[in-house]
Chain A
Amino acid sequence: MNINMTLIGQTIAFAIFVWFSIKYVWPPISNALHERQKKIADGLDAATRASRDLELAQERAEATLHESKEQASQILEQAHKRSSQMVEEARDQARAEGERLVANARAEIEQEINRAKDELRAQVSTLAVAGAERVLEASIDEKAHRKLLDKLAAEL
Chain B
Amino acid sequence: MAAGNEVTATYYIQHHLQNLTFGYHPQNGWSLAGTSAEATEMGFWAIHLDTMGWSIAMGMLFIWLFRKAGKMATTGVPGGLQNAVEMVVEFIENLTRSAFQGKNPAIAPLALTLFMWILLMNSLKILPVDYFPELFARLGVEYMKIVPTTDPNATLGMALGVFFLIIFYSIKVKGAGGFAKELSLTPFNHWSLIPFNLVLEVIGLLVKPLGLGLRLFGNMFAGEVIFILIALLPFWAIWLLDVPWAIFHILVVTLQAFIFTVLSIVYLSAAHEHH
Min Cβ gap A47→B in Å is 17
- B75 x A36 contact (CB < 8 A): yes
Separation of A28 and B82 alpha carbons in the complex (Å): 12
The interface residues of chain B lying within 8 Å CB-to-CB of A11 are: 157-158, 160-161, 164
Q: Given the known A-B contacts A8-B157, A10-B52, A26-B109, are A17 and B117 also in contact in the complex, defined by CB atoms under 8 Å?
A: yes
Q: Is the interface of B mostly helix, strand, loop or mixed?
A: helix
Residue of A nearest to B74 (CB): A32
Q: What are 12 A-B residue pairs whose CB atoms fall within 8 Å in the complex? A: A2-B39, A5-B46, A10-B55, A17-B62, A17-B63, A25-B112, A28-B70, A28-B73, A30-B89, A31-B73, A33-B86, A36-B76
- A18 x B56 contact (CB < 8 A): no
* 2-29 of chain A: CB within 8 A of chain B: 2-11, 13-15, 17-18, 20-22, 24-29
- A3 x B75 contact (CB < 8 A): no
- B23 x A25 contact (CB < 8 A): no
* 30-51 of chain A: CB within 8 A of chain B: 30-33, 35-36, 39
| B263 contacts the other chain (CB 8 A) | no
Residue of A nearest to B92 (CB): A26
Residue of A nearest to B40 (CB): A2
Residues of A within 8 A of B (CB-CB), count: 32
- B69 x A39 contact (CB < 8 A): no
Q: Given the known A-B contacts A28-B73, A29-B86, A32-B74, are A20 and B63 also in contact in the complex, defined by CB atoms under 8 Å?
A: yes
The interface residues of chain A lying within 8 Å CB-to-CB of B108 are: 26, 30
Residues of B within 8 A of A (CB-CB), count: 55
- A22 x B109 contact (CB < 8 A): yes
Separation of A21 and B55 alpha carbons in the complex (Å): 16
Contact with A along B176-208 (1 / 0, CB 8 A): 000000000000000000000000000000000
A residues sitting closer than 8 Å to B (CB atoms) are 1-11, 13-15, 17-18, 20-22, 24-33, 35-36, 39
- B157 x A7 contact (CB < 8 A): yes
Q: Given the known A-B contacts A1-B151, A3-B152, A39-B75, are A33 and B160 also in contact in the complex, defined by CB atoms under 8 Å?
A: no
- B113 x A17 contact (CB < 8 A): yes
- A2 x B46 contact (CB < 8 A): yes
Min Cβ gap B167→A in Å is 13
- A4 x B73 contact (CB < 8 A): no
| B71 contacts the other chain (CB 8 A) | yes
Separation of A35 and B74 alpha carbons in the complex (Å): 9
- A7 x B89 contact (CB < 8 A): no
Residue of A nearest to B47 (CB): A5
| B122 contacts the other chain (CB 8 A) | no
Choose from B21, B52, B152 the contact partner of A13 (Cβ within 8 Å): B52
Residue of B nearest to A13 (CB): B56
Residue of A nearest to B62 (CB): A17
Min Cβ gap A10→B in Å is 3
| B257 contacts the other chain (CB 8 A) | no
The interface residues of chain A lying within 8 Å CB-to-CB of B112 are: 21, 25-26
The interface residues of chain A lying within 8 Å CB-to-CB of B164 are: 11
Q: Given the known A-B contacts A6-B48, A10-B153, are A21 and B109 also in contact in the complex, defined by CB atoms under 8 Å?
A: yes
| B45 contacts the other chain (CB 8 A) | yes
Separation of A32 and B51 alpha carbons in the complex (Å): 34
Q: Given the known A-B contacts A4-B153, A7-B153, are A18 and B109 also in contact in the complex, defined by CB atoms under 8 Å?
A: yes
Residue of A nearest to B165 (CB): A18
- A9 x B106 contact (CB < 8 A): no
Min Cβ gap B29→A in Å is 16
The interface residues of chain B lying within 8 Å CB-to-CB of A20 are: 63
- B67 x A6 contact (CB < 8 A): no
Separation of A35 and B154 alpha carbons in the complex (Å): 37
